[in-house]
Amino acid sequence: MLAGDADREHAVGLLKEAFAEGRLTQSEYEDRIGRAYQARTYGDLDVLTGDIPHGLPPVQAPPAFWPYPPAPPRTNGYAVGSLVCGIAGTMFGLPAVPAIVLGHIARRRIRRTGEQGDGLAVAGLVLGYVVTGLMLAVTVLLAGLVAWTAHG
């Protein structure tokens, strides 16, 4: 079968790619390019490009219904704040109460909006309640110690 101009250009493109990859020397490249432009049949072009690996054909993306993939669900900011306050509460004590408040707000909003971050909110709540409970226990013990030493 006779080759067309597009077929010759395709063969030249393969030769250029092979030369750029170092598969052909300068003289081989020039010789094959000249013969590619003079080729009349597919057989002539196959002789010029038959020893060059063509690689995998380009993969076309499957047709999509959306021009862009959907954005991943957001993480609730109150949940992040709850966890941060819960962690800070373990070090400083005071931010433990905001961890509880933010955790409850976050869980309510997550149920309503479907955002991510429920685990963060729960972790903030647990840390907040544990730190607050420990602070209350220490306060009661100190108050009891003060009262006992004042009467003693």
Q: Tell me: do 39 and 91 sit in the same domain.
A: no
> Which pTM value belongs to this model?
0.52
| Whether the Cβ atoms of residue 39 and residue 50 lie closer than 8 Å to each other | no
Q: Tell me: do 93 and 144 sit in the same domain.
A: yes
Reduced to 3 states, what is the DSSP secondary structure of residue 134? helix
Q: Tell me: do 45 and 84 sit in the same domain.
A: no
pLDDT given for residue 127 in this prediction: 94
Q: Tell me: do 88 and 147 sit in the same domain.
A: yes
Domain membership of residue 39 (yes or no) is yes
Domain membership of residue 57 (yes or no) is no
| pLDDT at residue 81 is higher than 90 | yes
CA proximity to 28, closest of 42, 18, 38, 39: 18
Retrieve residue 1's tokens.
Answer: 């079968």
Query: Which residue blocks in the chain are alpha helix, DSSP H?
Result: 5-20, 26-38, 42-49, 77-92, 96-113, 118-151
Taking only the tens place, the pLDDT of each residue in 17-72 is 889 888 889 999 999 999 999 998 988 888 888 888 765 455 565 565 666 777 78
- As a whole number, mean pLDDT of residues 110-122 equals 92
Residue 42: give the domain boundaries.
Answer: 5-49
Number of domains into which the chain is organized = 2
